[in-house]
Structures are given as structure tokens and as C-alpha cells.
Amino acid sequence: MTDLNDIIKPSNVAVITGGASGIGLAAAKHFAAAGMSVAIADLGGDRLAKAAEELKAISGEEHVMAIETDVSDKQALAALERAVIQRFGRVHVLMNNAGIGPETSIFSADSGWDAILGVNLMGVVNGTRAFGPNMLAHGEPGLIINTGSKQGITTPPGNPAYNVSKSGVKVFTEALQHELRNTEGGKISAHLLIPGFVFTGLTKGDRAEKPAAAWTSEQTVDFMIESIKKGDFYILCPDNDVARPVDERRMAWAMGDIIENRPPLSRWHPDYADKFKAFLEGK
């Protein structure tokens, strides 16, 4: 099992994509508060600069890097890796977390598909492939945490490109962990962060106040850390609306579509409404 005290400690290094806002920034603050050197990679602009200032106030100027990076660009991630290694030497925690959620539909003419798959899925693949080899090579323990979504598991109707991207993150991260645990001498473990509803830049819309149902980014990061301490690969976060047993039944029903030969997304099919309701209630 991973002893987090060997990883999240002063003199070690964390890199977080999408680290200028929401869950990524909360994670960066957690790692900075633990004394780690932290590099946040995000789209440029005021948000990145402001986040860097907040981190410097926690751990000091010399322990913080903020690097403008578009994670959908493979070369940009390779350059990020080189820059972090040059400044901090080695990387112990990589959190591939940058994500976007513009609306998409199956047949719409807009380019949302390329953008979502480029950031949410290829950003994770690019980040892992850019940082993974040197993280394994230095021989010290470490973590690769990829941010997925419940929407990549139960795939509700609404934003198909988002679901496809997050489903890809799940599959990629499972394969990654299989690879890592079969790498002789490797001390890196992968983890799939599956947030619930979290009040962040991605979800807040016009709202100024956190809705009662949502968790904060800090709650999500605390849950993530506790889960990794326990050795969990799947970090299935609840929120104030959905408890774990509900998630478990929703996921089981989704898999049951194949096993029971139901139509896909039968949870939202009128013919199955009563059956799903009964299943959710454990009947």
C-alpha cells in the first residue's frame, strides 16, 4: 500500500494540470501546505498568475512554478516536463486534472468534440506519457492521479463528448495502473479521481453561492487524499446529494444494460423507469 508520508512531503514535487482553479488549485494548495514544490500548468492569463500568488503565500516563491500549458498539445506537455525537471529535479505527484465541458451533441456542427477529447482525454494521455517514464526512472515512490467523472461511468444523456472523454480517462487509467503494478521495481501508482458534484469554475455558471448539493474543491481533495492513503484506485467521491450506495446502484444498473440485454442508457428509457426505481430502492 502507498505510504503517502513518503510522497507528500517537503522536498518532493507535484505537478497539477488545470491547477489554476477548482479541484486542481485545491490540490495544489494541499501539496504546497505539506511543503512540496508545486508546478501548476493551466491556460495563461490572470487566473494562473493569481493562483501562483496564492501558492507562493503558502510555501514561498522558490517552491512554486506556474507554466502556461495547453494540455491538448503534446509538445507543450513535453516542454512542461523539461521545465519542471530543470527547476525541481524530479516529479513525485502528477495530477492530470485539466478539464472542460462545453455542450456537445451527436450531430451538432460545432467543434466541441475535438476540444473536449483534446483536453479531457488526450490531456491525460499526453501528461502521463510525458511525465511517466522519468517518474518511474528515478525510483522514488509517486502518484499519477487522473481526474475522471461519474459521467464517464454511467454516461447520462446530455453531453456525449464529455462522457466519451471521461470514459476514456477511466479506461486509460485502469490500463496505466495495470502497467505500473507490473513494472518491476516501479513505485508509482495510478488513481482515478471520480468527483461528485463540486462547485468550481466548471459547474458554477451564474451562481455565486455553492448549491447545497455540491461539495467544495477542498472537501474533494481531502477525500482524495484519505482514499489514496487507504490504497484506493477508484476514488469515488460522494457529494451532499448522492451517497455511495446510490452511485453503486447506478453503476451496477449501467453495467446491467449489457448483462440483461437492455437498451443502452435504459435508466433514462421510459419502459425501464419503474424497474430502475425499484432497483435503486433495493427491491
SS3 48: helix
Q: Does the active-site annotation cover 162?
A: yes
Question: Which CB, 64 or 272, lies closer to ligand NAD?
Answer: 64
**Does 163 help bind ligand NAD (rule: CB under 6 A)?**
no
- Selected binder of ligand NAD within 100, 144, 192, 228 (CB under 6 A): 100
What residue has cell string 479506461? 171
Binding to ligand NAD in span 29-58, by CB under 6 A: 42-43
For residue 214, the SS3 value is coil
Give residue 82's Cα distance to chain centre: 22
Residue closer to ligand NAD (CB basis): 34 or 198: 198
* Cβ atoms of residues 28 and 16 within 8 Å: yes
In the block, cell 504546497 appears at 32
From candidates 28, 31, 94, 99, binder to ligand NAD by CB under 6 A:
99
162 vs 272 by CB, closer to ligand NAD: 162
Under DSSP, the state recorded for 216 is: P
Rounded to a whole number of angstroms, the minimum distance from the CB of residue 250 to ligand NAD is: 14
Interaction between residue 119 and ligand NAD (CB under 6 A): yes
> Site size for ligand NAD, by CB under 6 A?
28
Element at 42 (helix H, strand E): strand 37-42
| Per-position DSSP letters for 221-279, written without gaps between them | HHHHHHHHHTT-SEEE---SS--HHHHHHHHHHHHHHHHTTPPTTGGG-GGGHHHHHHH
Q: Which is nearer to ligand NAD, 141 or 214 (CB)?
A: 214
Residues that bind ligand NAD (CB under 6 A): 17-18, 20-24, 42-43, 69-72, 97-100, 119-120, 147, 149, 195, 197-198, 200-203
Catalytic residues: 162
